[in-house]
Amino acid sequence: MTRVSYYPGCSLEGMANDYARSIEAVFEDLGITLVEIEDWSCCGSTAAHSLSEMMSVALPARNLAAAEKLGLDIVSPCAMCFNRLRFSQNMLQKGLFDVPWTVSGDLRVHDMTRFLAEPDMLRKIQKRIIRPLKGLRLVCYYGCQMVRPPKITGYRDYENPQTLDRLTRAVGADVIDWSYKATCCGASIGIGRKDIQTTLTERILLKAVQTGAEAVVVACALCQSNLDIFQHNHPEIALPVFYFTELLRLAFAAETKARWFKKHFVDPVPLLARKGLIV
């Protein structure tokens, strides 16, 4: 049985609790034990690196040290957490900062999509499928922090990342190629400059519609809420925004209703019912 240390991040306790629940279900299905890092704390996100570089190294370092005590590689579902953990590890390995904990940097920090898109994991996933998501036309949206900067994240195909594509294709969905895979959705800038955020989010959604997608797949809590909440005020777009784990769970599960779909602003149930995936 595979064991990994799990760093959920603050969003998964709040706005993205549906993401958290689908992750737990999927990992249970796959027989992988998620060991939550003890007393994990926030990675500092954009605020820490914007105001003090030292904080942006020290805050994730505490979690890295706690995970090293467990001795298990870290899997992070949140793009920003993943990026900050890797950044901190990188800066400490270069010997540029001192932190009060010993961080050797031996542990691997995975983002959840790449961890699951490894060939043997994909085989495991394919074995579990009960209900292939046939006929569901999707575009995969990666956002920025998961793939960039490549020297931190380790993505070689940062222009056209494939991890989400491989995963959603593995569960039988039709994945469409498109050009806005890794364009920024505006992140948390909506707090102070709503105009910038709506411009960027709208651009991505309209492109997805133009591509002919019926839904968007994401792996980031903030991307999901930005793309989903934008449509709260623009119901004419009506493009459901799924976490990739929700789709995996849909393909794995024998029962045909998923409670967490109610948490979405754009209700995906009509689309899934039309495709015969939910009764």
Smallest separation (angstroms) from other proteins to the CB of 99 = 8
Please name the residue that has the structure tokens 């999927």. 26
Q: Is 51 in the site for other proteins (CB under 8 A)?
A: yes
Q: Report the C-alpha gap between 8 and 111 in whole angstroms.
A: 11
Question: Across the strands, what pairs with 75?
Answer: 6, 110
162 binds other proteins (CB under 8 A): no
47 binds other proteins (CB under 8 A): yes
Among 128, 137, 263, 275, binds other proteins (CB under 8 A): 263
Phi then psi dihedrals of residue 108, to 5 deg? -95, 135
Q: Does 188 sit near other proteins (CB under 8 A)? A: yes
Please report how close the Cβ of residue 194 comes to other proteins at its closest, in angstroms. 6
DSSP for 136-173? -EEEEE--STTT-SHHHH--S-TTS--HHHHHHHHTT-
Cβ closest to other proteins, residue 144 vs residue 217: 144
Selected binder of other proteins within 69, 194, 234, 274 (CB under 8 A): 194
User: Site for other proteins (CB under 8 A): which residue of 44, 161, 240, 268?
Assistant: 44
CA distance 275 to 279: 10
Q: Is residue 183 close enough to count as binding other proteins by CB under 8 A?
A: yes
Decide: is 10 part of the binding site for other proteins (CB under 8 A).
yes
54 sits near other proteins (criterion: CB under 8 A): yes
What are the CA-CA distances from residue 172 to residues 153, 210, 234, 242 (Å)? 28, 22, 30, 15
Q: List the strands of the sheet with 137-141, edge to edge.
A: 174-175, 137-141, 215-218, 241-243
| Interacting residues of 100 by C-beta distance below 8 A, sequence separation 6+ | none
Q: Tell me which of 2, 15, 29, 154 binds other proteins, using CB under 8 A.
A: 15
Cα 74 to its chain centre, rounded Å, is 14
Beta pairing partners, 111: 76
Decide: is 269 part of the binding site for other proteins (CB under 8 A).
no
The C-alpha atoms of residue 92 and residue 102 are separated, in whole angstroms, by 10
Given 100, 156, 236, 255, the residue binding other proteins (CB under 8 A): 100
For residues 89 and 168, which CB has a smaller minimum distance to other proteins in the complex?
A: 89
196 is an interface residue for other proteins by CB under 8 A: yes
Assess contact for 5 and 74: CB atoms under 8 A: yes
| 207 is an interface residue for other proteins by CB under 8 A | no
Of residues 21, 23, 32, 62, which one binds other proteins by CB under 8 A? 62
173 contacts other proteins (rule: CB under 8 A)? no
Chain positions contacting other proteins, by CB under 8 A: 10-11, 13-15, 17, 39-42, 44-55, 58-59, 62, 66, 100, 144-145, 148-150, 158, 183-184, 186-189, 191-196, 199-200, 203, 229, 232, 262-265
